[in-house]
Chain A
Amino acid sequence: MKLLSVLFLVAFAAASAKAETTAIINARAVTMTAAGTIDGATIIISEGRIDAVGEGLTVPAGARTIDASGRPVTPALMNSGSQLGLIELGSARDTDDSSAGESGLGASFDVQYALNLNSVLIRVALADGLARAVVLPLGTDQAPFLGIGALLHLQTPAAVLGQHGLAAMVRIGGAASGGPEQSRAAHWQLLRNSLEDARVYAADPGKYAMAGNRRSLAALVPVVEGRMPLVIHTLRESDIRQAVALADDHGLRVIIYGGNEAWRVADLLATKRIPVVLDPSANQPATFDTVGTRADNAAILERGGVTIAFVASRLGQNYNTAASMREGAGLAVANGLSWEAALAAITRNPARIWGIAETFGTLEPGRDADIVIWDGDPLEVMSAPAVVLIAGVPVSLATRQILLRDRYAPDHDAELPPAYR
């Protein structure tokens, strides 16, 4: 009974916070719209959404006011590919739900059922300014299929599933799950065969008797019908060109993921309107598939008219999902990308690529009030969020790591061991 009433109170508090009006004043509002950056801006928020952004706006009576003191204010960040909520601790098998193993699920493996919305990693990402995360599967027993991804909406006390069935994913090339012992040609053929079968299946599902295969094909029907994007994780130029050809042949919505050598195909990708999700910090030939990796991959793609979005580095993938991605955006600027384009690649662009641009990615009326006030340049590694608002409500920036830090703080009263703090 007591527990129930506490839950009720929490729910009530959240609802009332959402309902109230909030105004961020004295903002250097980086809108990510045609309005550009507005100094001295006021951002008015009600019902969890942005009502107005501009100079000289009147703050509604009774509104909660947050003074940004001239600091940069941006849309909250979005990461275009991690295992946030799927992997907690690499060494604890029971916290790694990224792969289907020998399940036989193939393309139908769907990560939505495994998401741990209480993950401490999500709290870290949230405190680092992330509001949306694309969660992608890492493998199945049927190469080249990795499974179906989902979209997380980060908030406290726990994240929520923003959208399931976000995209189907395959991995092809030297980085493929089948490993280097299987030719990438085989992966492309397997993918093409499956897409053709999915079309046949869609026309007459009764034709397929084998349950496993049927489910795998059913999962691909939205892909062949253009209702669900196909994420192709691939790195080498030849594979990127294959991906473009596949998109053409089947009329698919393809998103290139990885794309280390995509800079060599920039014009083609721009013409075909195929976006690229990439790690902008990648600049080394980690494998032979990435001999052509360049630090200015993002800059060349952007200049060529390709829509780009960023992910974190290999090391930051899940543990620093937002901070590492933001650092990569800064590094992209150091390597020729414009500051605005780099910020777009972690806000507006991913919202467009993943189909949520109507609700997220810019500071403009009607968008969710997922907003960050930064204590400095949002792309500098020494900066951090000062305030993170989700649906207009400031969230706690306390993470498990911050609690550890404070437990072992050097100036702490030392009467009792740290375990008592």
Chain B
Amino acid sequence: MTDYCLRLACPLFLTFMMLAGSPAGARSLLPPDPYPSTYEPLSRQHTIIVNATILDGAGARFERGSVLMRNGELVAIGTDLTPPDDAVIIDADGRWVTPGIVDIHSHAGNAPLPMEFRAYDGWDVNEGTDPNTAHLFAEHGIYIQDPNFATALAGGVTTIQVLPGSVNLFGGRGAVLKNVPGRTVQDMKFPDAPVTLKMACGENPRGYYGSRGIAPASRMGIIAGYRSAFEAAREYSQKLEGKKAERPPRDFRLETLAGVLNGEVRVHFHCYRADEVANVIAVAREYGFDIAAFHHVPTAYKIAPLLADNGVCAAVWSDWWGFKMEAYDGIRENAALVDRAGACAIIHSDMGELAQRLNIETAKAVAAGRRAGLDIPHEHAIRWITSNAARTLGLEDQIGSLEPGKNADLVLWSGDPFSVYTKADLVFIDGAIIYDRQDPARQPGSDLMLGQPALEDIE
């Protein structure tokens, strides 16, 4: 790939790549996915859900609305749809419908349950052997039998980004998955999802490497580490553009970073402290790349206008704070204040117990914002776990909102999704029912849970 399409040799391919998402004028530096998705949708029927309260993920709310799904695609939404003869009709009877939830910070599969005390030691989250492991793929650390996938599904999560951990400056590529059971991780991969890269700042890299006598041992070393790596990536990109004889041997780390510099790789950045976020944004400006989202950042509210000005999302927890100095200034209004500044707010999980309740996590963040006097309607807030999240994955044209032409990923909730009493009744991915709360035969489970005596039904 790096060789067969240089300069003007195949203009059609270049045009295709530009249409497919590379920034205008930039040539793709990334070969095709060496481990492409083998996902196949489950069997599905044309389906219409009627009489629903719909939050469409794009900012609108429909009362007594309908959504029509055909061949895995959402083809119509509105309050005046006539059920077609060939569609299964589901009467929501006032229950709520939202897009499937998109969780952009998961460790499902790379920190699997149950924890084995003798073997856990970081699970397959961190390759803590080098601060730059931009050449890694999170998918290679994923155990698909992790029960976290099923519990997230029962909570309405349809798309998951599994990320490497945060001890490395460059942790590796994220794995964007459809939350469908498979036999291999490739069976779950979201087809042709853009490449993402996990980066990290702050306490974790400096603490981990500093304690081992390796750089970075300070936040200064962290920023210097980014610059050295991006400087090398810039040279690598330039050489790739040069004469064939002078082209460098393939370098997997630099290939990913070169993809960051030309906008093909979306950067997901673990950072807690607002002032560090500002430093990282300055480095991104220096090297001319964009950051899709900062993750965790409990103090995003302190620099919300900066995030808005730079078009960067903040993916945060609703109320987790205080467990370390970097989180001591975390507040419950964080997401709401980011949102209020015009920046893109997202609620993420990072942990399986939160992944299964992202609707509840969002509810708490919304409630805190409302108590602070901010007007945050349900139809706006649902974006925090749907369309805003999809945007950071470069999948906003396929998932995240219920608009004609998009994938039929949606959740039928038992009630208001922001109520603690509400549960997901039905979860659709590409128009297929992946989870049905009333039908045990439509509830995927981990192999782990089979035959466990402690799970026998009680009288």
Q: A-side interface residues toward B, CB under 8 Å?
A: 89-92, 121, 174, 179-180, 236-237, 261, 263-264, 281-288, 290-292, 294, 300, 313-316, 318-320, 323-324, 327, 330-331, 333-334, 379-384, 401-402, 404-405, 408-410, 418
Contacts and interface: CB of A to CB of B under 8 A. Distances in A.
Given A263-B458, A284-B151, A401 B421 contact: no
B114 A287 contact: yes
A91 B420 contact: no
Contacts of B420: 327, 330-331, 333-334, 379-381
**Most chain-A CB neighbours within 10 Å: which of B116, B360, B449?**
B360
Given A284-B148, A330-B421, A381-B420, A92 B117 contact: no
A281 B367 contact: no
Interface string B94-134: 00000000000000000001111110000000000000000
A377 B354 CA distance: 22
A90 B113 contact: no
A405 B114 contact: no
Contacts of B135: none
Interface residues on B, range: 35 or more
6 contacts: A91-B324, A91-B326, A284-B113, A318-B322, A320-B319, A408-B304
Interface of B: 113-118, 147-148, 151, 203, 301-302, 304, 319-326, 328-333, 337, 340-341, 351-354, 356-357, 360, 363-364, 366-367, 370-372, 418-423, 448-449, 452-455, 458
B115 A286 contact: yes
Contacts of A179: 117
Contacts of B326: 91
A264 B454 contact: yes
Classify the secondary structure of A's interface with B: loop
A90 B151 contact: no
Nearest to A386: B371
Contact of A313 (B330, B340, B353, B449): B353
A89 B322 contact: yes
Given A287-B114, A313-B353, A418 B147 contact: no
A172 to B, nearest CB: 15
Contact of A291 (B325, B332, B454): B454
Contacts of B455: 291-292, 294
A149 B332 CA distance: 30
Contacts of A281: 353
A319 B322 contact: yes
A288 B449 CA distance: 11
B429 to A, nearest CB: 22
B459 to A, nearest CB: 10
A323 B326 CA distance: 22
Given A379-B420, A410-B340, A290 B324 contact: no
A300 B364 CA distance: 27
B332 A315 contact: no
Contact of B118 (A180, A285, A294, A316): A180
Q: Which of B333, B341, B354, B448 lies at the interface centre, i.e. has the most chain A CB atoms within 10 A of its CB?
A: B333
Contact of A410 (B151, B304, B322): B304
A292 B116 CA distance: 16
Contacts of B304: 408, 410
Nearest to A266: B458
B353 A314 contact: yes
A89 B151 contact: no
Contact of A401 (B113, B321, B352): B321
A256 B324 CA distance: 30
Contact of B325 (A92, A264, A320): A92
A285 B324 contact: no
Given A286-B113, A319-B321, A381-B367, A334 B449 contact: no
Contacts of B302: 408, 418
Given A283-B151, A333-B420, 12 more contacts: A236-B454, A283-B356, A285-B147, A316-B319, A319-B323, A334-B423, A380-B421, A381-B363, A381-B367, A382-B418, A408-B301, A408-B304
A342 B314 CA distance: 35
A384 B163 CA distance: 34
Nearest to A92: B325
